[in-house]
Amino acid sequence: MGLQVQLVEVSTQGDRDRATALATLGGQGVFTREVQAAVLDGRADIAVHSLKDLPTERTPGLVLAGVPNRAPVFDAVIMPAGFGKQSTSGSELLASFPHGATIGTGSLRRKAQLLHARPDLNIIENRGNVDTRLRKLDEGQFKAIILAEAGLRRLGLESRISGLLQPPVVFPAVGQGAIGIECRDDDGEVRAVLGSITDANTMTAVTAERTLLAELRAGCHAPLGVMSTMTGDGMLTLAAVVLSADGQERIETSAKGRLDAAQLIGHTVANTLRCLGANRLLCK
């Protein structure tokens, strides 16, 4: 396209505070507010987010205009350096951990699902950039840590992946593996450029997932997991799971519909989860 791009680095609240648990750090927007402000005040033309961190409530003056092709969506188990041969099954690794093993993750969603499968595990907050988390692991602070597969692959660290956690054991986060790009809603030129790099299937899937999240008013850090699956006949299946923070209670449901009914599918799954008691679990 012949575009010149200049990077504007922004430090967010979530980047600066690496000690406080995400669930108590400040709710939605801890990784996005400062980046959005840079676009609104004219320092930047676009805001690039990990879509799983972007709140579903629209920020006045901005529009989600670009969602490129999605990366892998699963969570990865990372063992200490020198662990040896990689496993293809994160669930097998999870089952092999000794009683009371210490696992590092900064995600309440991951923690709840891990505790549902292995209530004996000792789940410890693990904040910081990826290098910091890996260093803590290799120093022996954890038996294993859990990170998003997409982030590891984007950083060229796929060799550290020991196994992948997949449904029904662990469901990914809403928007996991996807990049969301916002711009000013009155910037037609930039909106057109971002539209040209948007992947239709990814946009459909994350629309269903984010509709579900918005309907439940759960927030980006809630113990809610989702999985979107598309089939060749133009159908989308959205499965979702909600757990109590301690993993003791778990409800799951799914809905299927046409690709052009992504919002309706998200609404349907949210309504069913509410009927099954999701609000009670999310408010615990």
Residues marked active site are found at 53
Tokens of 191: 């909106």
Spatial distance between the Cα atoms of 146 and 137, rounded to a whole number of angstroms: 10
Supply the DSSP string of 20-47, one letter for each residue. Answer: S-HHHH-STTTTTHHHHHHHHTTS-SEE
Sheet with 250-258, edge to edge strand ranges: 224-231, 235-243, 250-258
Tokens of 87: 């496993």
190: left (phi over 0), alpha (psi -120 to 50) or beta: alpha
| Cβ proximity of 23 and 221 under 8 Å | yes
CA distances from residue 269 to 4, 28, 57, 171, 217 in whole angstroms, order as listed: 42, 22, 19, 15, 13
Spatial distance between the Cα atoms of 45 and 116, rounded to a whole number of angstroms: 43
The answer, yes or no, to whether the previous bond of 167 is cis (omega within 30 of 0) is: no
